[in-house]
A and B are shown apart, each in its own frame.
Chain A
Amino acid sequence: MSQSPYISGSTSVSVIMLKVLLALVPGIVAYVWVFGGGVLVSLTLASITALVSEGVMLKLRNRPVRPFLMDGSALVTAWLLALALPPLAPWWLVVVGTLFAIVIAKQLYGGLGYNPFNPAMVGYAVLLISFPVIMTQWPAPLALAHAQLGFADQLHYIFSRGLPVDVQVDAITSATPLDYLKTQLKLQHALADISQAPVFGVVGAKGGELVTGAYLLGGLYLLQQRIVTWHIPVAFLAMLALVAGASSLLDPVHYAGAGFHLFSGASMLCAFFIATDPISGPTTPKGKLLFAAGIGLLTWLIRTYGGYPDGVAFAVLFMNICVPLIDAYTQPRVFGHKL
């Protein structure tokens, strides 16, 4: 005999994950527009790897395979990782990263709901530490590249690192603006001069800012659909803007402004899709604010002073560690209780 309540709302885990995937579509379209169709290959590779490894692991762990494959969470992890990797990453990099995310960071911790770390970011961080050169080698946006690769060429490059005879690697890659900015600043160049470089767009990275804008669009859809609450995106972006804005105000020669930080690298992807992963994040409203502000601050610190071009992954993973503490100290006031 079942107990009340006898009715339930219509949102299920699959619906949530599906909407997250849907919200990523504008970003993917912009990505293809800017960097070519190579990313579609990464997405497909990551998706297949994620589903197969998740299925195998579920089987090994004696869990029902169907419902957990249908929940869509593996696909979300796969897509986020694929989008975080350089667009023309070799096929094995995508596969290794996804395997790490799904098998180690997710399934070995107990599967859906039990992973303390954001699986996509674990995959990303492992790749960044293990293969730093490939991971920081970004192809230039099509508009900037000295040589254009067609989709077939991109495919060829992804699977065998082979390039058409007349194209050199240098011709298709470039430093990302975040990277470029850091090396140039180290060379004691002034920001005003650096930002004249062709890699920079209106506010962020040339081309990249378009993708970032598309992520923002998808993020707004998630907010409107109440898949995410405002706390994490707002706190993350506000903190990032605050420290970036303040530092560039104090020392405009050496620090990039808020707009640049918001529209470069994985900022928007992080704000709406990565930091908002519910499983590895805090649950209380205040906790979400703290958590996301922490990620914003750490991201800026790593970008500005750290050894890696973008700080999102490590910032997220570090804040993941703090989640139990954050939750414990941000319990809201219960009805009828004093604080």
Chain B
Amino acid sequence: MISTLFKFHGGVHPPEHKLESAATPIVEVPLPQRLVLPLRQHVGNVPKLQVAVGDHVLKGQLLAIADGMISASVHAPTSGTIVSIDEQLIPHASGLPDLCITLQADGEDRWVEHRALEYRDLPKAAVLEALRAGGVVGLGGATFPSHVKLREDAQHPVRTLILNGAECEPYITCDDRLMRERADQIVRGIEIMQYLLGAERCVVGIEDNKPEAAQAMRDACRLSSIPIEVATVPTLYPGGGAKQLIKVLTGLEVPSGKLPTEIGVQCFNVATAYTVHRFIHHGEPVISRVVTVTGKVARPGNFEVPLGMSIAELVQAAGGAAPESTGFVMGGPMMGFNLPSAEVPVVKATNCIIASAPDLFPPLPPAMPCIRCARCADACPVNLQPQELYWFAKSSNLEKARDYHLFDCIECGCCSYVCPSRIPLVQYYRYAKSEILAADKAKQAADLARERNEFRLARIEREKQERAAKHAQKAAGAKADVAGDEAKKAAIAAAMARAQAQKAEVVPQNTADLPPAVQEEIAGIDARREAVNEEKQEN
């Protein structure tokens, strides 16, 4: 079945560099001795610890349980002993440490008791609950807990289920290999997702630079119990961005600040579908993932890696980094980030590790002034005017930047990529976003303080009136009592009204109704910002 494809504005064609790592099958890495598992490997609440230092745990055993709706559990990738629970560096752009469980493997790799779920015999809520406990999150990089997205919502029924196998970022090939080698298991996962959501249509979107993966998926889909389309979409970065892929496959645009369900669409990464299958049909929680290791390494390829393995060890599995390599990038070259250290662990979000070197990712020459050539605007998939945003960010005209839809920017990097003046545009947007959010926060705090002050003044006023009333009481006897009470009440009511009115005014403008993924991103930006500030102070 060939369905019509649509286009999104802009996009770029960076060199793909996929062949290096896509040629060989996924290799299972040797079991590491030490695993470091950050509690928070997803968007949402930190899960609650279920183990203590010294505990012996089995492979697949629950280490931390999802806390609240938007949260995900963490499990032991192998059997062994918990040797510490403390703050360690994690692979995050902020470069900040976070609470981690360190597991010393016992080498036996012994599984905890686990079994498949007969999901069709259970109420859907129970299946979702199981997924939440299984630590299933989006593996495309967003790591949003999947059970939340798989919930049926009467107000926004999902008609179209989209599976994202576009993998548009250069260098990354983990989804490509997964689709080539485990297409049937991905399809089993899609069937579960379709069942949970009751979607009428299922489409797998794959960029046309992965013909083998598309063929494998097509073959697997043909054997499925439900109709699943496989659509090859033109290779165009960032065609794998959820909103862009949805647009290409359905022609619909997710309204700004809204979730895809608003337009009856839900989108998952193919690797997420795979983990859903592994969990439901085999009872295996998410304890490993496929990671592309490429760039300046001896044997680029894809590896099945237990979560918690250090990047340094993983790179060893790929033959080690070349001597000229100067660091590691997690993710792709367009949206990835420099790892603070090679000792950080592989987490659920780790899709790709690139050993970088100056000749691979050359440092930018000094930026020239913007020549208003609008190449950035032509390349922006969101149809923003990056050159205007840059101007506003640079001149700290933050309100204007917001007016020009700064918060719709997905930080895809297309604008920076094409800019002939080599202006690091995205960095300006990250900075501006964090500044605006910090200002919003400060304003909220100030308003709160002002509100408190109003109450204080009201109290003082009230006490004054009470004193006056007492005097009056003394003078006029019992009658004044009522009047004093009345004055007291009136003063309090007036103060409350003022406070209420003020509160109504200060609803934070842009951030309140953002989806959790964006709020998470904002938290990330905040952290980065603080890190930068610290850096500044150190210098």
Contact = CB atoms under 8 A, between A and B. Distances in A.
Interface of A: 1-9, 11-13, 15-16, 64, 67-68, 71, 73, 111-114, 229, 278-279, 281, 283-284, 327, 331-337
B237 to A, nearest CB: 10
Interface string B248-270: 00000111111000000000000
B382 interface: yes
Closest 3 CB pairs of A and B: A113-B369, A5-B413, A6-B361
B377 A283 contact: yes
B384 A281 contact: no
A335 B371 contact: no
Contacts, number: 138
9 contacts: A2-B364, A5-B335, A5-B426, A7-B15, A8-B418, A9-B12, A113-B372, A335-B243, A336-B254
Contact of B368 (A13, A229, A336): A13
A262 B255 CA distance: 45
Nearest to B10: A335
A162 B35 CA distance: 89
B384 A334 contact: yes
A327 to B, nearest CB: 8
A336 B255 CA distance: 4
Contacts of B59: none
A3 to B, nearest CB: 5
Nearest to A1: B338
A4 B385 contact: no
B361 A7 contact: yes
B503 interface: no
Contacts of A112: 368-369, 371
Contacts of B413: 4-5
A3 B426 contact: yes
A12 B387 contact: no
B421 interface: yes
B9 interface: yes
Interface in B142-156: none
B123 interface: no
B374 A278 contact: yes
Given A7-B15, A336-B255, 19 more contacts: A1-B338, A2-B363, A3-B93, A3-B337, A4-B336, A4-B426, A5-B333, A6-B329, A6-B360, A16-B373, A64-B366, A67-B366, A67-B368, A111-B369, A113-B370, A278-B374, A336-B253, A336-B256, A337-B255
Contacts of A278: 371-374
A200 to B, nearest CB: 38
A334 B410 CA distance: 12
B23 to A, nearest CB: 22
B256 A8 contact: no
Interface of B: 8-9, 12, 14-15, 93, 95, 170, 243, 247, 253-258, 329, 331, 333-338, 356, 360-361, 363-364, 366, 368-375, 377-378, 381-385, 387-388, 404-405, 408, 413, 416-422, 424, 426-427, 430
Contacts of B371: 13, 16, 73, 112-113, 278-279
Given A12-B422, A335-B8, A5 B256 contact: no
A66 to B, nearest CB: 10
Nearest to A283: B374
A89 to B, nearest CB: 29
Contacts of A113: 368-372, 421
Contact of A335 (B336, B381, B388, B419): B381
Q: DSSP majority for the A interface? A: loop
A111 B386 CA distance: 21
Nearest to B370: A113
Contacts of B384: 334
B428 to A, nearest CB: 10
A330 to B, nearest CB: 10
Given A283-B377, A284-B377, A334-B405, A13 B336 contact: no
Contacts of A229: 374, 378
A284 B93 CA distance: 33
B89 to A, nearest CB: 14
Nearest to A68: B368
B255 A11 contact: no
Nearest to B418: A9
A73 B418 CA distance: 19
Nearest to A288: B374
A226 to B, nearest CB: 9
B333 A6 contact: yes
Given A16-B420, A229-B378, A335-B408, A7 B333 contact: yes
B413 to A, nearest CB: 3
B408 A337 contact: yes
A7 B413 CA distance: 9
A335 B368 contact: no
Contacts of B333: 4-7
A80 to B, nearest CB: 15
A326 B90 CA distance: 48
Given A1-B338, A284-B385, A8 B416 contact: yes
Contacts of B405: 334, 337
Contacts of A12: 420-422
B256 A337 contact: yes
A327 B374 CA distance: 12
A335 B430 CA distance: 19
B265 to A, nearest CB: 13
A200 B314 CA distance: 76
A20 B184 CA distance: 54
Of the candidates A7, A229, A283, A334, the one having the most CB atoms from chain B within 10 angstroms of its own CB is A7
A68 B368 CA distance: 8
A320 to B, nearest CB: 12
A202 to B, nearest CB: 36
A334 B426 contact: no
Of the candidates A2, A8, A331, the one having the most CB atoms from chain B within 10 angstroms of its own CB is A8
Contacts of A284: 374, 377, 385
B359 to A, nearest CB: 12
A5 B411 CA distance: 9
A4 B426 CA distance: 8
A228 B163 CA distance: 38
A11 B334 contact: no
A114 B395 CA distance: 14
Contacts of A8: 364, 416-419, 422
Contact of B408 (A64, A283, A336): A336
Contacts of B337: 3-4
Contacts of A335: 8-9, 243, 247, 253, 256, 381-383, 408
Nearest to B254: A336
B235 to A, nearest CB: 16
B356 to A, nearest CB: 7
Nearest to A231: B374
A283 B372 contact: yes
Contacts of A16: 371, 373, 420
